[in-house]
Amino acid sequence: VQYYLTNIQTKAHLNAFVEVYEQSALTQADLINEKLANGNAGKLAGMVIGIKDVLCYSGHESNASSKILQGFESQFTTTAIQRLLDEDAIVIGRLNCDEFGMGSSNENSAHGNVLNAADESRVPGGSSGGSAVAVQANLCTVSLGTDTGGSVRQPAAFTGVIGMKPTYSRVSRWGLIAYASSFDCIGVFSHTVKDNALVMQIMAGHDEYDSTSSRKSVLPYSQLLHFDKKAKVAYLKETLDSPALQPEIKANTLAVLDKLKSEGHSVEEVSFPLLDFILPTYYILTTAEASSNLSRFDGVKYGYRTPNAHNLESMYKLTRSEGFGEEVKRRIMLGTFVLSASYYDAYFTKAQKVRRLIKDYTENLLNEFDYIIMPTTPSTAFKFGEHSGDPVAMYLEDLFTVQASVSGVPAISLPNGKDESGMPIGLQVICNSFKEAELYAFSNYLT
Ligand code: GLN
């Protein structure tokens, strides 16, 4: 804990942490030392963990990096965090992110930008930018993020660490401040596959507080990392042919595929004709869900309330106008539009149908192949301000990460070299639902 506290202090300018729980982390460390001496410590004894600012932790503030949740303190703890605490993990602090998880660069945070430690003029990715940099810069061993459309995998790729999104429903969402409930997943950042697998296996499993959490049993992923099979791997032609793809990322992805071939695995090119429909489908459905989820922030129940109201209606309007940031307002408006009576069928219902097509196509591929490999992102980390004036350019950053989110399948981003300017490149591996053990084992083989 002391090692990390020192690092957090010397690297405070990266702005990864919103709050550091210095005293409680030290006290917890003492308690765990005692338990270790008595031989009754949990499986994560001493593992130092940071948590994204959208995960509630009893007695602590959670803001979802939004002004509207200023001063909000939860009365309960996220199930996933509680399970880690029960195994004697130490929570060292709360990590910066894009407001309500909406963004790909961490530039939409009420707590300010997070700097990428590989090049401080560049973004760390988002929305879990603080969680990625906390691991990248050795400010904690492992961190929790959330991934709705890539928010764990994309920042992991931009910072050169491992980022895993499990199957939708594998980890309880209880305590996670909702963005788009049918997509949201809690995920893990780490330097090693083993740490990642261990934390995931402890968080995963049914939770009576989240009726969508799966009842399937959880395998001990961290003990199943040995990989000795011949894998059947597919890569999607449209991803590698994409004009948006940076040449070095293409080259490094092809190099992995070639290496796999030379080691006797089968590697096949397949076509994915639905690539162009994924982003529109994702942004219609997630904004619709967000507009509904965020209606609860009205100045009555949580956090910020405008001091400028003169009647009930102006209290709602001003609280929301002053409390939400620009990107969040854009999405509430877009989501409200696609859910409105006259456009519901044209946009929302249509997008639900396309989601089903994408999911079926992806699952069929994953029945035929063990893994799909593609780049995590079309480009490496870009400079601050590069996309902030153009939301559509920013949404394009999610081109390769949203397929797994729309389909609900697990996906991991692994470091895969660097580009000419020294920025990390990510390799994404996707597997069929509930095959986390297979995904971790293959990742272990690849790294
Ligand atoms: N960048 C995507 C978005 O803004 C993904 C965010 C996320 O996964 N939370 O929606």
Atom of ligand 1 nearest to the CA of 398: 1
Per-domain residue ranges for the chain?
2-223
394: CA distance to ligand 1 center in Å? 10
Ligand 1 pocket, mutate which of 181, 398, 403, 428 (most atoms under 8 A from CB):
398
How far apart, in Å, are the Cα atoms of 380 and each of 104, 211, 423, 425, 426?
12, 38, 6, 6, 8
> Rounded distance, CA 77 to CA 176, Å?
9
* Average pLDDT value over all residues in the chain: 97
ipTM for the whole predicted complex goes beyond 0.85: yes
pLDDT of residue 72: 96
Active-site residue among 62, 151, 169, 242? 151
User: Taking 90 as the threshold, does the pLDDT of residue 345 lie above it?
Assistant: yes
> Rounded distance, CA 112 to CA 310, Å?
31
- C-alpha R_g of the chain: 21
User: Taking 90 as the threshold, does the pLDDT of residue 278 lie above it?
Assistant: yes
Active-site residue among 62, 65, 74, 127? 127
Q: What is the mean pLDDT of residues 387-401?
A: 91
Per-residue model confidence as pLDDT tens digits over 192-228? 999 999 999 999 999 999 999 999 999 999 999 999 9
Q: Which CATH class is domain 2-223?
A: alpha beta
Nearest to 136 by CA among 1, 18, 6, 7: 7
Atom of ligand 1 nearest to the CA of 104: 1
Using pLDDT thresholds of 50, 70 and 90, give the confidence band for residue 404.
very high
Ligand 1 pocket, mutate which of 52, 96, 144, 148 (most atoms under 8 A from CB):
148
Strands of 48-52's sheet in order across: 17-20, 90-95, 48-52, 142-147, 185-190, 162-165, 411-418, 424-430, 371-375, 232-236, 266-270
Q: What is the mean pLDDT of residues 246-258?
A: 98
- For this structure, is 52 an active site residue? yes
First to last CA, the chain: 27
Q: What is the mean pLDDT of residues 45-57?
A: 97
What is the three-state SS of the chain? Answer: CHHHHHHHHHCHHHCCEEEECHHHHHHHHHHHHHHHHHCCCCCCCCCEEEEECCECCCCCECCCCCHHHCCCECCCCCHHHHHHHHCCCEEEEEECCCHHHCCCCCCCCCCCCCCCCCCCCECCCCCCHHHHHHHHCCCCCEEEEEECCCCCHHHHHHHCCEEEECCCCCECCCCECCCCCCCCEEEEEECCHHHHHHHHHHHECCECCECCCCCCCCCCHHHCCCCCCCCEEEEEHHHHCCCCCCHHHHHHHHHHHHHHHHCCCEEEEECCCCHHHHHHHHHHHHHHHHHHHHHHCCCCCCCCCCCCCCCHHHHHHHHHHHHCCHHHHHHHHHHHHHHCCCCHHHHHHHHHHHHHHHHHHHHHHHHHCCEEEEECCCCCCCECCCCCCCHHHHHHCCCCCHHHHHHCCCEEEEEEEECCCCCEEEEEEECCCCCHHHHHHHHHHHC
Nearest to 154 by CA among 397, 405, 404: 397
Place of tokens 């959490």: 213
Using pLDDT thresholds of 50, 70 and 90, give the confidence band for residue 388.
confident
Minimum mean pLDDT among 28-37, 383-392, 417-426: which range? 383-392
Per-residue model confidence as pLDDT tens digits over 79-91? 999 999 999 999 9
pLDDT of residue 393: 87
Atom of ligand 1 nearest to the CA of 101: 9
Q: What residues flank ligand 1, with Cβ below 6 Å? A: 101-104, 127, 146-151, 179, 286, 398
Atom of ligand 1 nearest to the CA of 146: 9
> Rounded distance, CA 98 to CA 115, Å?
13
Ligand 1 pocket, mutate which of 286, 291, 428 (most atoms under 8 A from CB):
286
Nearest to 437 by CA among 166, 150, 43: 166
Buried b (16+ CB within 10 A) or exposed e, 23-40: eebeebbeebeeeeeeee
- Nearest CA residue ID for atom 5, ligand 1: 149
> Rounded distance, CA 168 to CA 433, Å?
8
Token pair of 148 as six digits: 């709705």
pLDDT of residue 331: 97
Per-residue model confidence as pLDDT tens digits over 279-302? 999 999 999 999 999 999 999 999
Calculate the CA 90 to chain-centre distance: 21
Per-residue model confidence as pLDDT tens digits over 405-415? 999 999 999 99
Beta pairing, strands 90-95 & 17-20: antiparallel
Per-residue model confidence as pLDDT tens digits over 302-328? 999 999 999 999 999 999 999 999 999
127: CA distance to ligand 1 center in Å? 6
User: Taking 90 as the threshold, does the pLDDT of residue 389 lie above it?
Assistant: no
168: CA distance to ligand 1 center in Å? 15
As a whole-number percent, the residues of the chain with pLDDT over 90 amount to 97
As a whole-number percent, the residues of the chain with pLDDT over 70 amount to 100
pLDDT of residue 30: 97
- Residue 424: phi and psi, rounded to 5, are -60, 150
Active-site residue among 11, 52, 165, 435? 52
- For this structure, is 127 an active site residue? yes
- For this structure, is 443 an active site residue? no
Q: What is the mean pLDDT of residues 111-117?
A: 98
CB 323 within 8 A of CB 68: yes
